[in-house]
Chain A
Amino acid sequence: EAGVAQSPRYKIIEKRQSVAFWCNPISGHATLYWYQQILGQGPKLLIQFQNNGVVDDSQLPKDRFSAERLKGVDSTLKIQPAKLEDSAVYLCASSLYGAVSTEAFFGQGTRLTVV
């Protein structure tokens, strides 16, 4: 079974530039998550999709972050414009069920450095 795929693995941009990350979840997984992990901290949920609908985006800085999951499969996360404090690893995860507590499978993450 193929895992969660993310690209790119690494990205370095200057502040105020834009960046986009891509995620392909495990086939058949209805729920998709984007997490932000700042160095020394645990992952923090940015947005949760159930199929192509948003379940929770309460911690997404909507003035600069946006995410979409067209057709309920792949997802993109965009930052525009980036700030220095956005430097982090962005993790995508997917799970089979939505409302039921279950394990989430994580991708390798995209390490973003904003200079």
Chain B
Amino acid sequence: DQQVKQNSPSLSVQEGRISILNCDYTNSMFDYFLWYKKYPAEGPTFLISISSIKDKNEDGRFTVFLNKSAKHLSLHIVPSQPGDSAVYFCAASHTGNQFYFGTGTSLTVIP
């Protein structure tokens, strides 16, 4: 059962524009969410997180929004840069136990 879903396998954005990556989850018990970034032949690296007590968390060019009623979170990258081209995974957990990952969205930022 896929408890975390990323319905867009790929996304292309012009450099300087906003990239919006979406993630939906089904388990209302999830209370902690993370975004990971993955380059080819490397392991995922942590990007940004948000707990369920917040609806927004910002770190530089990266902002994560959480809509608990819709069971939806999104990652905004502004402005997008060519170096942001990678696969982005969202992950969710309940009380820090097992993290469930989505299938990933491949972002391409076009110079």
Closest approach, in angstroms, between the C-beta of A47 and any C-beta of chain B? Answer: 10
Which interface class (under 10, 10 to 19, 20 to 34, 35 or more) fits B? Answer: 20 to 34
User: Apart from A101-B32, A105-B45, what 16 extra A-B contacts exist at CB < 8 Å?
Assistant: A40-B103, A41-B103, A42-B91, A42-B102, A42-B103, A43-B89, A43-B101, A56-B97, A93-B43, A100-B96, A103-B46, A104-B46, A105-B46, A107-B43, A108-B41, A108-B42
Bits for B80-95, please: 1 = Cβ < 8 Å to A, else 0.
Answer: 0000000001010101
Q: Which of B43, B49, B99 contacts A109 (CB 8 A)?
A: B43
* Interface size counted on chain A using CB atoms at 8 A: 26
User: Does any Cβ of A come within 8 Å of B73's Cβ?
Assistant: no
Which residues of A are found within 8 Å of B36, using beta-carbon distances?
106
